Structure 1
Amino acid sequence: MASNSTFRTIRLQRGLSLVELMVALVLGLLVVGAAIGVFLSNRQTYTATESLGRVQENARVAFELMARDLREAGGNPCSNRIPMANVLENPANNWFTNFTDGIRGAEGAFTLDEPANRVAGTDAVEVMSGEGRGVTVASHNPTSAVFHINTATHDMEADDVLLVCDNRQAAIVQMTGPNATNETVVHNEGTGTIGNCTKKLDVPVDCDDNSPGGYEYGDNSQIVKLRAVRWFIGDNPSGGRSLYRSVLRRGAMGAPEEVTDGVENMQITYLLPGAAAYVDANGVGTRWGEVLAARIELQLQGEDRVGLNGEVIGRQLVHVATLRNRNA
């Protein structure tokens, strides 16, 4: 016969009641729900911060690379205030017709080779300058159209468009070939992808003058490759918009290169001497050679919908680049 102590032990070993179990489950669910809420909130914050960081990084890349080109607009290794002889064939139809301007903005289509993926209604800009690296002239024979240079280790090749200058004048020519040792730069007429209309590099240019001679560049004159680059907004393969760049190579504009994505719009205005405000490309008119600075306004957006009301994060950022060759 069981004793009272046995029944007391059995009562003490009873499990949780159904009510107690339900209370414990509810409390557990509340704790898990709170933890999930904190996790989701932190994840949202992280995604928003990462998206904003990506937008800012895209802006830094865009402004840094564009400003680098704009600052060099119209620059050459000799002087910015010397006359220029452009002896390229068909000057009205080649890229370096307006080299002395250094910069040209486009509200509508480009004059030459409009990119197929360009976004309508967005601004664009073309910038031209001499490249930083070049060679030194040892001697020049204008009759045979040959520059003897100081080195055979250079990256200039036939069909490259070059700028040669001294302290009195500059000339734009297309390189028609080196010699076997690569220590000459030849600028004959009638050959090349664009071609030179004359061997003579005098200012002013006379393409009909076939007499021997012409302006002779002395030793220590400089020869550099010419650089032309355009910046514009284009549709990218992912279905969005990106900032694109095209670079002129051997007289032809290269394929567009995607620089950074998430750039929805670009508007550029320009500062003229004595002006109280920046004006658009149409307002500059024919005064591109006088432009002192460019104000770049980019509209950027992130990829994730983590902004207010589920919108993507967007920023409108502005950068001003001074054309240092105009302020020398």
Structure 2
Amino acid sequence: MNPLRFSNHRQAGFSLVELMIALVLGLLVTGAVMGVFLSNQQIQRQNEGLARMQESARYAFEVLSRSIREAGGIPCGSGLRVSNVLNPPSQWWADWANNTIRGYAGGDATFPRAFGTAAGDRVSGTEAIVVLSGTGSEGLIIVDHNAPAAEFKVNTTAHGIVDGDILLVCDYDHAAILQTTNASSSTVTIVHNTGTSGVSPGNCSKYLGWPVPSTCGSSGPGSDPPSYTFEKNGFISKLQATGWYIGHNGRGGRSLYRLRLQNNSGSALASAEEVAEGITDLQFQYLRRVAGGLADSYVAASSITDWSEVVAVRLTLITRTLESVGTDQQPIERQWPTVVTLRNRQP
């Protein structure tokens, strides 16, 4: 045998037909692998989007339900009369007589955050709610109250109260809303004098009895009544005031926001905070206590004339994934309903 011919035969490659067949088979395999990869990637994105949406809904439910449940709460007991000596007492975050819980329909522009398109502005057409409570923080125990000097002494120097804090004070008889004018972590004394030096809005009176004098804008006596001394072992807590609403988040989406009463260097102000992303709408319905028991059905905010009758809230959160991960290449939406009972308005 010719060695040259044998060598050439052993070095022969694939034919063109064989190469084309191999190429087609390789493309088919690659296409199948890519299809599986893209499908798994889409499923992963969808699962991640749903998980984030559920987490936002879970957290939003927790903070909203807790806030609504405590509406009108007073450490000394529910249903107490409340004197308000703030000057004036009508700010939304302190208007206890009207706003311990109050809902706002989608077209109601009287909510304390205006409709708009900037980050933190309320989304037009969405509902909102305001909640006030005196039980959102750990209460301090009253050791002594010197009413003429407008001074409380409490059980610890670690009271956490500073100048300008809005407080709710109570005993078995009634409660009072006031602003701290002087407090220090080095003493147990908390002062609630009149005037606005260093604080805002200030107190119209240092007398905390019931009713407040007409000089505070009430229908009470024309001058300060005899001083009222709060009983020992009464409670002092910071007033909690929160407005819940849907706002633009500045990233092209919507989020759950809250307006919260805060102390800004002695001035009581409400600031907006983003709470949970992807919450696109809030819907509220309210159950009232009427003569003879409870009303037959939940109603919208526009149907409520006396908010002190509300005993439960049906809350629905509407959430949306941040990305278009649905099978139709659109965001996925879910509705999350629950009912919250107002703890402080139960029999």
Q: TM-score, normalised by structure 2?
A: 0.86
Partner of 1:58: 56
Residue 311 of structure 2 corresponds to residue 292 of structure 1: yes
Q: CA deviation at 1:11?
A: 4.0
Aligned mates of 2:185, 2:246 — CA distance in 1: 43
Q: CA deviation at 1:60?
A: 0.8
Q: CA deviation at 1:101?
A: 4.9
Q: TM-score, normalised by structure 1?
A: 0.91
Residues 248-257 or 102-111, more deviating = 248-257
Residue 256 of structure 2 corresponds to residue 243 of structure 1: yes
**1:201-234 CA-partner distances (Å, limit 9, x unpaired):** 2212224455674211121111111010111111
Aligned mates of 1:258, 1:96 — CA distance in 2: 22
**1:62-90 CA-partner distances (Å, limit 9, x unpaired):** 11111111111111111102222112222
Q: CA deviation at 1:102?
A: 1.7
Aligned mates of 1:199, 1:226 — CA distance in 2: 18
- Structure 1 pair 181/303, CA: closer, same or farther in 2 (3 Å)? closer
Does the residue aligned with 1:29 lie in a helix, a strand or coil? helix
Q: CA deviation at 1:46?
A: 0.7
* Ranges in structure 2 where 5+ consecutive residues have no aligned partner: 216-221
RMSD of Structure 2 on Structure 1 (CA): 2.3
Q: CA deviation at 1:268?
A: 1.3
Residues 243-252 or 46-55, more deviating = 243-252
Q: Which runs of 4+ in 1 moved over 6 A?
A: none
Q: Percent identity?
A: 43
Residues 203-212 or 66-75, more deviating = 203-212
Partner of 2:132: 128
Aligned mates of 2:185, 2:137 — CA distance in 1: 25
- Residue type of the partner of 1:276? D
Q: CA deviation at 1:319?
A: 2.4
Aligned mates of 2:54, 2:92 — CA distance in 1: 37
Partner of 2:288: 272
Aligned mates of 1:327, 1:69 — CA distance in 2: 16
Q: Which has the larger radius of gyration?
A: 1
Residues 297-306 or 118-127, more deviating = 297-306
Q: CA deviation at 1:111?
A: 4.9
- Structure 1 pair 128/83, CA: closer, same or farther in 2 (3 Å)? same
1:1-80 correspondence runs (5 A): 3=1, 7=5, 10-11=8-9, 13-80=11-78
Aligned mates of 1:281, 1:100 — CA distance in 2: 14
- Structure 1 pair 139/81, CA: closer, same or farther in 2 (3 Å)? same
* Ranges in structure 1 where 5+ consecutive residues have no aligned partner: none
Partner of 1:255: 271
Aligned mates of 1:151, 1:86 — CA distance in 2: 25
- Structure 1 pair 281/296, CA: closer, same or farther in 2 (3 Å)? same
Q: CA deviation at 1:9?
A: 6.7
Does the residue aligned with 2:328 lie in a helix, a strand or coil? helix
Q: CA deviation at 1:6?
A: 6.9
**1:287-318 CA-partner distances (Å, limit 9, x unpaired):** x1221121222221112222132111221222
Does the residue aligned with 1:312 lie in a helix, a strand or coil? coil
- Structure 1 pair 239/180, CA: closer, same or farther in 2 (3 Å)? closer
Q: CA deviation at 1:197?
A: 2.1
Partner of 1:326: 345
Partner of 1:218: 231
Residue 124 of structure 2 corresponds to residue 103 of structure 1: no
